[in-house]
A = this chain, B = another copy of it.
Amino acid sequence: MNTSAKHLGGLALLAPMALSSVTAKQKQPNIIFFLVDDYGWADSQVQYGQDLYPRNNMFHTPNMLRLAQKGVVMTNAYACSLSTPTRTSLMSGLNSAHLRITTFTSPKKDTPTDASGGTIGVINENESDPLARGDWNWNGISTRPGVNNTMYITPFVQHLKNAGYFTIHVGKAHWGTYGTPGCSPYNMGFIVNVAGSCNGFPRSYLGKENYGNNSDMWTFNAVQSLAEYYGTDTHLTEALTLEAKKALEYPISKGQPFYLYMSHYGVHTPITRDDRFIQRYLDMGLDEGAARYSSMVEGVDKSLGDLMDFLDEKGIADNTIIIFMSDNGGHSANTVKGGTAHTQNAPLREGKASVYEGGIRVPEMFYWPGKTQAGQRIDTPTMPEDMYPTIMEMAGIKNYTTVQDMDGQSLVSLITKNTGVSPDRELVFHMPHQWRIEDQDDIDFMTAMRKGEWKLVYRMHTGALELYNIKNDLSEMHNVADQHPQLVKDMAKALGNRLRSWRANMPIVRATGKPVAMPDEL
């Protein structure tokens, strides 16, 4: 309130406002949730695994390293295998199977994305596939009840706003389709929105291409609200960072606690070179695709660093929590990122959309000044649905109510004291869809549960149950189901119970018109 104090010198009553704001600020930490899109587990200099893998050396990410040194590194952090499931899980505290949002949503209403993109009324366009699309919430989450094919929820951001937080959305939203409340951050409790809507990726990362806002390239993925940067050399990642800093000025000047959802479109496709950083990777001899991808990663790393510098400049770094994660595993369905398809998350198996580790295990860090322990590594698995109660606890918000029964658990004890969350929780990853037109055996129609060191994978196409020991076999190369029949049975039962209790959506067996059998009903 510096400037208003100047202009309103006569209004002495404003003084207590400023005072109480500062006090409140000390009680309520600022929170930045820094979300990267399609960002692979091994795609930085930060060591999430037991070793540094060859892939870690492909990237220059000094600011992620800086965050890792200040905060805690979660070595077993999970997301869902696709964007909307993770993002709606974060917003609701529900598992994606419970949300019945288990693949990405289209920008368009009533347009399930299964298989080739989905046409209303068509169960599954790929009729040669024995499995057809089941019913699911293809319109995403909604803050209004009664919208067809949505899950009605109370978003956590609304509670932050109610509790005095200044809530800022910058970047990708992707919680629901157009024509529904879920497509607007203003319905989720955000005071400010920049560039968030129903699209799941950007039509273009280039300011020179107006981020897709050109008549010769426009699609629903054109990024809105950024006309200030049209025609310039400003990469989308940079534009969003600049907008975030701009929006932060206001709450910081008021001493109001803020929540910034810095939700980058990067590093999703289209894999587009970031001219600021590409040369390093070409010089390293990476192939063109890998160089492009690495330059995008460095752009996101710079964004993180710019925000951390900004907090320092403003003198609020000590009271600002940073949560860093990716919304799913790295994309590996083809070679746009270079390398060989389906291997670009090595040592993890597969990538985005798959329930193998490459699709769901993600980079994740927490930095809570004075609370987290610098440089600590925490091995207990975490899930996206844990973030809702975690952030509520961080903000000191208790006794809040939600229309949904949440599945997540607060991670505050875990990240501050490495306790309080069982390493043996049952973690469910449900992807009962055909993701892309081409059949992909290690991706489509799969469900998995991790519990402790074990992971059960259910292939709906074949009815096969696979068992992996994640601790000893990170790459899921050795199916040991035959050696542990009772464990397979127990985990299948547990997974079936979970899915039934959530009324999870299942695909339809085309021959019978009935849902696919649960893993314990085979």
- Whether the pair B14, A184 counts as a contact (CB closer than 8 A) is no
Residues of B within 8 A of A184 (CB): 227-228
The reply to whether the CB of A474 lies closer than 8 angstroms to some CB of chain B is no
The reply to whether the CB of A16 lies closer than 8 angstroms to some CB of chain B is yes
The reply to whether the CB of A193 lies closer than 8 angstroms to some CB of chain B is yes
Bound-state CA distance A516–B187 (Å) is: 54
Stretch at the interface among A217-225, A289-297, A373-381: A217-225
Task: Name the distance in Å between A474's Cβ and chain B's nearest Cβ.
Answer: 40
Residue of B nearest to A27 (CB): B11
- Whether the pair B17, A186 counts as a contact (CB closer than 8 A) is no
Count of chain A residues near B, Cβ 8 A: 64
Contact of A163 among B4, B108, B162, B247 (CB under 8 A): B4
Residues of B within 8 A of A150 (CB): none
The reply to whether the CB of A7 lies closer than 8 angstroms to some CB of chain B is yes
The reply to whether the CB of A416 lies closer than 8 angstroms to some CB of chain B is no
Contact A220 to B213, CB < 8 A, known contacts A17-B17, A164-B8, A231-B179: yes
Contact A191 to B192, CB < 8 A, known contacts A7-B398, A179-B232, A230-B179: yes
Q: How many copies does the complex hold?
A: 2
Residues of B within 8 A of A210 (CB): 178
The reply to whether the CB of A198 lies closer than 8 angstroms to some CB of chain B is yes
Task: Name the distance in Å between A522's Cβ and chain B's nearest Cβ.
Answer: 41
Bound-state CA distance A16–B24 (Å) is: 11
User: In the complex, which residues 227-243 of chain A have their Cβ closer than 8 Å to any Cβ of chain B?
Assistant: 227-232, 243
Scoring A residues 357 to 374 as 1 if CB is less than 8 Å from chain B, else 0, what string do you get? Answer: 000000000000000000
Bound-state CA distance A23–B198 (Å) is: 40
Bound-state CA distance A304–B34 (Å) is: 40
4 A-B pairs with the lowest CB-CB distances in the bound complex, closest first: A3-B162, A16-B16, A178-B230, A224-B224
Residues of A within 8 A of B (CB): 1, 3-4, 6-8, 11, 13-17, 19-21, 23-24, 27, 107-109, 159, 161-164, 178-181, 183-184, 186-187, 191-194, 197-198, 210, 213, 215, 218-220, 222, 224-225, 227-232, 243, 246-247, 250, 396-400
Selected A-B contacts with CB under 8 Å, 14 pairs: A7-B397, A8-B27, A14-B20, A16-B17, A17-B20, A179-B229, A186-B246, A187-B228, A187-B246, A191-B191, A191-B192, A193-B225, A213-B218, A218-B222
